[in-house]
Amino acid sequence: MFKLPFIVKLNCAGVTSLLLVLLLVATPAEASRLLEVCPNPLNAKAEFVKVYVDSNCTLSDGEGNVTLNRSGTFYVAKNRTDFFKSFGFYPDYEFGGRFGLSNRGEEIYVIQNGKIVDSFGWKNADKGLVYYRTQNGWDFKYQDWTNFSPVEDRVSGIVIVSPTKYKIKAESLVLASYTLTDNSFIDCDNVTIFLDGNPVGGVPMNEMIVAKRYNVTFLKSSSYRHFHWKFAIADGDKVVITTENWKWNKRGYIVEFESDKIANFLKSVLNHDKIYATEVGEFGKPKRSFKALKNGDEFKFNSRVEVFVLPDCNPIFKMISSAKRRLLIQAPYIDFDWFWKDKPLLDAVINASKHADVRIILSSNEIATKRFLEDLAEVENLNLRVRTMDNLHGKMIVADDVAVITSANLNKYGLKLNREVGVVIYDKKVADFLAEKFDEDWGTKRGENYYLIATMIVLTTALILTHAFVRRR
């Protein structure tokens, strides 16, 4: 079972008798401090601590000590050889004796001049989990996570809004998706497909047909919760990024453009992730397939785009927080639960609400989240409004004149633990187009027309009844 990492900070009451006599002090920005801790590496003998010290220090777990007798940044590992095999370089120190990093959890300390200057604690560390310090506290990654930087290019493309009829006609096609239960949109014989091998509810039985028809690789990892992305590369350089699992019956979005640079970037990520190939033991229940009855609205653009994959790069928090005029978020659901006490998504929304006009559209079953945000807006006097709609699956953000379309749900899985993909479009016209679609879903346009028509019907009916009554008299 996939477990979330958990960090715990102990107070002095939880420190061993050896350390009770020491004074816990705040850590200045450049003082000696812990930087990384890996208690349960993929190679069990390669566990390590990365630490910066500005003078002689002691690294302690309350039972054993490691003396660091010079200043600098150092790796302290359990076994030099195994550490080298895992990371490609030798550590600066080895630890042994009573000092060790328990997978189940404990606290370690940096002691300088008889004082604790830094400490860090954890519980139940997953295999391959690495805790690391950031400017805002502690975060985590997995040892086998990649570090792909986002790729930019100036492209000519099109944004398509679903429901829509959509097909890909190509000589060759590489496609990645969370699930794929309908292949009617594919007009191609040379097709390679990557699918999540562990989706919620099991692999749909429909994918058995897809797997027999095409070259399909199922992916499963202990460090990525799901391979939830949805993108395709046609004929080597045509890129398609979508919010949908390749069925177009709900509100969603498709971005299509040509770029050798971005296509090669996405192919390199897939080539890496082949290491997670797995066999599918059982197929679950089949899922329904849907066909759209009409083409959706489209908008052509020529602008700079940036494609990113999660969890390697996450521009979403910063984008939301930095909105100054307008922030439009459309997502089936939002979950503000994060890791430990952090609430980065909620903090970003609140920060934007102090400056920008913030509106959020959620799926119609997200009533609790809607009420929470409305109550928060009232208590905090925030410029924040929320509505819900049926048949929403797309994940779209407009912040001022920049737009993001992504496969990632706005929760800790989509924004941290899943393999996801997204595209940032730096184009005011695209942002305005998506804002117009947002307004339609919000009801600004469609709703006004509805109420106008309803009012006209009522007035007309009243006039007819009045006229009939007068004639009878």
Q: Are residues 463 and 440 in the same domain?
A: no
**Predicted confidence band at 300 (pLDDT cuts at 50, 70, 90)?**
very high
Report yes or no on 49 lying in a domain: yes
Q: Are residues 322 and 439 in the same domain?
A: yes
Q: Are residues 14 and 117 in the same domain?
A: yes
Across 280-295, average pLDDT: 78
pLDDT digits (tens, 9 = 90+) for 72-84: 999 999 999 999 9
Residue 431 · residue 398 · CB < 8 Å: yes
How many residues are there in the chain? 473
Q: Are residues 214 and 312 in the same domain?
A: no
pLDDT digits (tens, 9 = 90+) for 308-340: 999 999 999 999 999 999 999 999 999 999 998
pLDDT for position 265: 98
Q: Are residues 221 and 314 in the same domain?
A: no
Q: Are residues 382 and 403 in the same domain?
A: yes
Residue 414 · residue 227 · CB < 8 Å: no
Tell me how far apart the alpha carbons of residues 116 and 70 are, in angstroms, rounded to a whole number.
18
Q: Per-residue pLDDT for 435 more than 90?
A: yes
pLDDT for position 467: 54
Q: Are residues 381 and 247 in the same domain?
A: no
H-type alpha helices, 407-445? 428-442
Total domains present in the chain? 4
Report yes or no on 13 lying in a domain: yes
Across 83-88, average pLDDT: 96
Report yes or no on 284 lying in a domain: no
CB within 8 A of 379, min separation 6: which ones? Answer: none
Report yes or no on 285 lying in a domain: no
Report yes or no on 239 lying in a domain: yes
Q: Are residues 262 and 168 in the same domain?
A: yes
pLDDT digits (tens, 9 = 90+) for 44-61: 999 999 999 999 999 999
Residue 54 · residue 151 · CB < 8 Å: no
Phi, psi at 355, each rounded to 5°: -125, -40
Tell me how far apart the alpha carbons of residues 441 and 389 are, in angstroms, rounded to a whole number.
7
Structure tokens, 212:
């027999």
Residue 349 amino acid letter = V
pLDDT digits (tens, 9 = 90+) for 211-250: 999 999 999 999 999 999 999 999 999 999 999 999 999 9
pTM (two decimals): 0.87
Residue span of the structural domain in which 193 resides? 151-278
Q: Are residues 222 and 345 in the same domain?
A: no
Query: The CATH number of the domain where 400 resides is what?
Result: 3.30.870.10
Cα atoms in the Cβ-side hemisphere of radius 13 Å centred on 381: 0
What are the counts of helices (DSSP H) followed by strands (DSSP E) for the chain?
A: 9, 28
Q: Are residues 45 and 87 in the same domain?
A: yes
Q: Are residues 258 and 320 in the same domain?
A: no
**Predicted confidence band at 282 (pLDDT cuts at 50, 70, 90)?**
confident
Question: Where a domain ends, among 87, 120, 142?
Answer: 142
- b/e per residue 91-112 (b: at least 16 CB within 10 A): bbbbbeeebbbbbeebbbbbbb
Report yes or no on 293 lying in a domain: no
Report yes or no on 291 lying in a domain: no
**Predicted confidence band at 125 (pLDDT cuts at 50, 70, 90)?**
very high
pLDDT for position 14: 42
Residues of the chain above pLDDT 70, percent: 87
Report yes or no on 95 lying in a domain: yes
Q: Per-residue pLDDT for 450 more than 80?
A: no
Question: Where a domain ends, among 142, 173, 203?
Answer: 142
Q: Are residues 413 and 462 in the same domain?
A: no
Helix (H) or strand (E) run with residue 343 in it: none
Scan for tokens 């028809």, then name that residue: 213
**Predicted confidence band at 130 (pLDDT cuts at 50, 70, 90)?**
very high
What is the C-alpha R_g of the chain?
A: 27
